[in-house]
Amino acid sequence: MGALRPCLLYTPGQVPYPLAWEWQRHVQQQKIQDPEHPDVLFLLEHPPVYTLGQGSSMDFVRFASGAHELHRTERGGEVTYHGPGQIVGYPILDLRHYRQDLHWYLRQLEEVVIQTLAALGISGERIAGLTGVWVEGAKVAAIGIKVSRWVTLHGFAFNVTTDLAPFAAIVPCGLTKPVTSLAQLCPGATLEAVQPLIAGMFCKVFGVKLIAKKLDYPILGPPA
């Protein structure tokens, strides 16, 4: 068995969505231009925000224009909500070093969440034909990605202690299925306890060694 592939880990806490989006695209472009640039995993939270996939329909948005922060992105999937208490994972990986198969990559992201839930004694599952992770028919993690020249962008959103009320303002992922959180399934769960667990499962599933780093230039981009 060969050495584990290094992957830089950034855990900056709560980050406004546009800034995290900028970080992702910055790293993706670095990796496209320099194949030797290390892979990166961002694990963070967002203030309350709604995001739309590239081709998602406004029919699934139930609030008036301007009522909430809303961004249309280049990821796949429909509308979703991000907010405090949710672990958002953005892996920026070169799939040429893993497997050049987008379906495989989506299943691997699901597996990270499924194994995290299993470690907590909860049975997470997939639903055939859909993307994400469910527990007893309720969605606990959403996934949406974009890949350019086999370098990934966007990722997964795992509801840990997330307030689920804001999901009522949308049809999450375009599905009339309920959403849930880890806190509902495992009372006492905390973001601080679950984040290192999900990082460990990411290592296991993707066969990488995470190297914790602090955000600084050039990840942050040039000063404003």
* Predicted local distance difference test score (pLDDT) of residue 172: 79
Nearest Cα neighbor of 116 from 158, 81, 161, 179 is 158
Q: What is the domain count for the chain?
A: 1
Rounded to the nearest 5°, which phi and psi values hold at 104?
Answer: -60, -45
- pLDDT tens figures, 170-190: 987 777 789 999 999 999 999
Residue 219 has pLDDT above 80, yes or no: no
**CATH number for the domain harbouring residue 80:** 3.30.930.10
- pLDDT tens figures, 25-54: 999 999 999 989 999 999 999 999 999 999
Cross-strand pairs, 75: none
pTM tops 0.75, yes or no: yes
Residue 224 has pLDDT above 60, yes or no: no
User: Locate tokens 């307030």: which residue?
Assistant: 163
Nearest Cα neighbor of 31 from 199, 156, 152 is 152
203 is catalytic: no
Q: Which two tokens stand for residue 83?
A: 């907010």
What is d(CA 47, CA 189) in angstroms, rounded to the nearest whole number? Answer: 20
Rounded to the nearest 5°, which phi and psi values hold at 206?
Answer: -95, -5
Does 224 reside within a domain? no
Give the list of residues 6+ apart from residue 46 with CB closer than 8 angstroms, or none. 14, 15, 16, 17, 20, 82, 83, 84, 86, 88
Mean pLDDT (the chain) is 93
Catalytic residue among 7, 173, 186, 203: 173
User: Locate tokens 């992105």: which residue?
Assistant: 73
Does 99 reside within a domain? yes
Q: Which two tokens stand for residue 68?
A: 């909430």
Does 18 reside within a domain? yes
Residue 142 has pLDDT above 90, yes or no: yes
* Predicted local distance difference test score (pLDDT) of residue 68: 94
Does 222 reside within a domain? no
Q: Which two tokens stand for residue 52?
A: 């739309």
Q: Is the peptide bond before 218 cis (omega within 30 degrees of 0)?
A: yes
Instruction: Residue 66: give the domain boundaries.
Output: 5-213
